[in-house]
Amino acid sequence: MAYKNIIVEIRGKVGLVTLNRPQALNALNEALVAELNEALSDFESTPEIGCTVIAGAEKAFAAGADVKEMAQKGYIESYLGKFLDGWTRIAETRKPVIAAVSGFCLGGGLELAMMCDIIIASETARFALPEITLGIMPGAGGTQRLPRFIGKAKAMDMILTGRMMDATEAERCGLVARVVAPERLLEESLAAAAKIASYSQPIVMMAKETVNRAQETALSEGTRFERRLFLSMFATDDQKEGMKAFIEKRKPSFRGR
Ligand code: CAA
């Protein structure tokens, strides 16, 4: 597929997608989301790729859903056309995805980042769910995911006032994993992704699936699921290799089996 709204690259074992609609601060239109889904699905089915990084531009990771595309939509048309259904595809990826966020990360842009597994932010990052200012509310998971990241008090504050949160506050309240200097954002995100991709792919995927379970189930059910997958790892060659290498004081050589 020839991409018009994103740039797709492969860096070693890492897939890199750069959102590329600078004229609209990377506002997410339907074409961009379709391309992003296509690229992610390619990475999912490429065995050599172990992790993906989604980046934006310096000024904006993404300034939200494309308001110009949405403005004239009607209810029935949106309902029948399953508007926003494709947006959650990213939350279903099995390999890890890192969002490298610089500048504005607003509305659907923040919802996209929250569907990734790790958010690494530049000191310039600004987060908001400003939908309320447009006479709507978040529609791509924001009302559900934000409270899970930062708790009800701050989520209500953000969603009902539409205010922006800077990178320091975002790290303090658990929205982002790391804050780095702007010039180090891509390098640090790619390095984290390369590290993840260097491990046993099936074990990484099982670890991701198990952490995500914590968001969706009761603690007792989540820990039971964790135990089942943990024990299953002892059927893999990579567990044998990882532990043997530790005992032999050498680097493991994982084969994804
Ligand atoms: N949709 C469409 N176009 C957008 C856009 C968006 N979300 N955000 C910015 N743009 C466009 C602007 O219209 C402008 O285009 P023109 O040059 O053709 O006028 C261009 O990008 C540059 O933007 P600004 O001139 O506004 O740049 P700025 O630096 O003055 O302001 C900003 C930056 C504060 C991010 C401002 O652009 C802004 O408030 N954008 C909208 C943010 C927003 O409301 N996002 C939520 C969208 S709704 C949503 O996401 C729903 C959902 O849950 C799925």
- Residue with CA nearest ligand 1 atom 8: 63
pLDDT score recorded for residue 155: 97
Amino acid making up residue 197: A
pLDDT digits (tens, 9 = 90+) for 109-157: 999 999 999 999 999 999 999 999 999 999 999 999 999 999 999 999 9
Active site (annotated) includes residue 111: yes
pLDDT score of 21 more than 90: yes
Q: What is the pLDDT of residue 11?
A: 97
User: pLDDT per residue over 70-79, tens digit each?
Assistant: 999 999 999 9
* Ligand 1 centroid – CA 216 distance (Å): 32
Q: Could you tell me where the beta strands, DSSP code E, fall in 3-156?
A: 6-11, 14-19, 51-55, 60-62, 97-101, 104-106, 118-122, 126-128
Q: Identify the three-state secondary structure at position 127.
A: strand
Minimum-distance ligand 1 atom for the alpha carbon of 133: 44
Q: Give the residue among 53, 153, 38 at the shortest CA–CA distance from 102.
A: 53
| Position in ligand 1 atom list of the atom nearest CA 24 | 21
Predicted local distance difference test score (pLDDT) of residue 36: 98
Indicate whether 1 pLDDT > 90: no
> How far, in Å, CA of 140 to CA of 85, rounded?
8
DSSP 248: T
Kindly give the distance from the C-alpha atom of residue 31 to the centroid of ligand 1, in angstroms, as a whole number.
Answer: 17
pTM beyond 0.85? yes
